[in-house]
Structure 1
Amino acid sequence: MPASSVEGVQEKVVTAQGLCHITFLHGTGSRRRAPCRYDDGEAAHQWKDPEEYYRSQFLEVIDLLTSELTRRFDQPTLHLLKNIENVVLTAVNSSPGCVSISIPKNVVDMYTGDVDMERLSTQLSMFPAVLRAHNSSAETPIRRVTKVSTIVDMLATQGGGTQSLFSEVDRLLRLYLTVPMSNATAEQSYVRATPK
């Protein structure tokens, strides 16, 4: 091959590289050294193969997701809602004439100004009557209530007399149903306020 044709090919390769902006990845060549103030004297970690590298990346992501889910669902507000739900479901599913339903301390502390706790305790002990009244008029009776929405539907279908008879339970359920919306609104406004 004549020298002029080799030079012509080399010129075309150099021109093509300039047009394509190709970056060449070098193998495990020399790494840039960290400044002395960051260097602890040990060599930088080298993964044996890509599988080990991606495994470490995957485990880091899983750890991050787990901690964020734990943080998200381990909040005082969610514990409060869970306790309210347990109190109301226990009351409606208890046997008639049950002595009294214990109201958790965080519910008492949070809603003492909004709900009369003595009247609430009395109304909760009478609350199985709501289920019996619903079952007497319903086509398919409910054996066990598992959702708060079922209780809300039962109170709504039985009319205003039942709601006034169980006024404190009704007020507690209204508070229970509005708490998630107030949290979601706050989160939504925070998300909208953060710059993208």
Structure 2
Amino acid sequence: MRSIWFTFKLFEGCLGCLCMGIQIEGFLNVAVAQDLYLYIIVFSVFTCTSFFGCLNICMEYEPVLLREILWSGFASFSYTVTAITTMYHAEKDLYLIYLSDLEIIEDEMGHQFFGYSKTQAIYAIITSVLYLLHTVLAADIYFTDLAVARAAEKQQEKKKLVLYLCGANVHNRLLKLKWFRRLDGRMLSTDLE
């Protein structure tokens, strides 16, 4: 199960780096600056925590599901707010306001500030959706584990939810590799020798 959370955190961190790179490049190349501090704080905090989460999983610590749910949900919300405010600033740009009044839409795409804002908003939404998927899957696992524990108290049988990395066939094939079993937390007694 840890391999699933590791993959999510790795992709979230990489997308966060991409968002941060677009923000920095846009800030350095465009005369009109957005709220740099809000965006850099959101991108850097969640990117760093994603990469530290990957490191934590590599050090063989089990992720806490409730923390995963809350933190990923908050990250999804923050990235969505960032995307909305990015496009709000692009909409309030004086140059673009006059272009939209004149109904010259073609020139809007060539404007540098609008281009950076649109690209940043798209990648922020993509990252937000990935964090939201992380939140939903972690919540599903959490509530399924609670239901299994309640069923065990009542001597009823209920199956645990199992997630596979890239499908059951690929996951089972990867489980033949020692490093993947270790990452996934499924070390066998023969692996320890």
Bigger helix share: 2
**Structure with larger Rg:** 1
TM range (shorter): 0.3 to 0.5
What is the TM-score when the length of structure 2 is the normalising length?
0.34
Q: Which has the higher contact order (CA 8 A, sep 6+)?
A: 2
